[in-house]
Amino acid sequence: MSARIRTQEQIAARVKALESMLIEQGIMTTQAIDRMVEIYEHEVGPQLGAKVVAKAWSDPRFKARLVEDASEACKELGISGLQGEDMVVVQNTDTVHNIIVCTLCSCYPWPVLGLPPNWYKDPQYRAAITREPRKVLHDSFDFTVPEDVEVRVWDSSSEMRYWVLPQRPGGTEGWTEERLAELVTRDSMIGVGPVAAVAS
């Protein structure tokens, strides 16, 4: 079992214990917790970022506006809010792969990516990804960037929150934005993973 899977299981166990404690002490109800989960699964989070990416893949003019001013372009799709005031999109290309991190704390573009995953806030990730990004991608995320592709690491802050516009995969010509959005993963917008594979 990989360290990442063990960590996910530990987090799940802690969440379940905390949920049980909140319910037992009358602080929250099961219905309130279910509603919070529904909000983060369907109303905020990576699916909103996926919608933005799919729009950029489909509409060159929107893509240009997104790269010029990500916060304003996202507002066109009704996406804005706390931690999204000063967002910057960096594009992956055939020759450049981008990764985001916040070396000081956990600054993160909430409106498009939801809440940051625990590993994003981990001091080990924050230190290692800046020193040895290829090694971290390979060892922690089972993700390999070709040697002929430059890796750039962008350090988010409270003044500027970066996120990645992944490359549109081949074989998706003529796809709807809804179908394209299904390929976009949270990790691909952080830069630590690929978009989902296109079924042949």
Q: Say what the pLDDT of residue 42 is.
A: 57
User: What is the percent of the chain with per-residue pLDDT over 90, rounded to a whole number?
Assistant: 65
CATH class assigned to 45-190: alpha beta
pLDDT at 115 over 90: no
- Res. 128 pLDDT band, cuts 50 70 90: very high
Average pLDDT (136-157) is: 97
User: Residues marked as binding?
Assistant: 102, 105-107
Q: Is the pLDDT of residue 187 over 90?
A: yes
**DSSP conformation letters of 155-176:** E--SS-EEEEEPPPPTT-TT--
Q: What is the pLDDT of residue 148?
A: 97
Write the CB contacts of 166 (distance below 8 Å, at least 6 apart in sequence): 53, 92, 184, 188, 189, 194, 195
pLDDT tens string 53-81: 999 999 999 999 999 999 999 999 998 87
- The better pLDDT of the pair 182, 7 is held by 182
Banded pLDDT at 85 (limits 50, 70, 90): confident
Residue numbering of the annotated binding site for Fe(3+):
102, 105-107
DSSP conformation letters of 42-72: HTSSHHHHHHHHHHHHH-HHHHHHHHH-HHH
pLDDT attached to residue 165 = 98
Phi-psi region at 45: left, alpha or beta (left = phi > 0; alpha = psi -120 to 50) = left
Tell me what pLDDT residue 1 has: 46
pLDDT tops 80 at residue 12: no
Question: Are residues 126 and 154 in contact, defined by beta-carbon separation less than 8 angstroms?
Answer: no
Treating both helix axes as pointing N-terminal to C-terminal, what angle do 133-141 and 3-24 enclose, rounded to 10 degrees? 70
Catalogue the active-site residues. 102, 105-107
Tokens of 152: 């750039």
Q: Quick one: CA dihedral 195, 188, 125, 5, positive or negative?
A: negative
Predicted confidence band of residue 120 (pLDDT cuts 50, 70, 90): very high
Please determine, for residue 88, whether its predicted confidence score (pLDDT) is greater than 60: yes
Buried b (16+ CB within 10 A) or exposed e, 55-79: bbbbeeebbebbeeebbebbeeeeb
Instruction: Compute the Cα dihedral for 35, 37, 41, 43 and give only its sign.
Output: positive
**For 194, which DSSP code?**
P
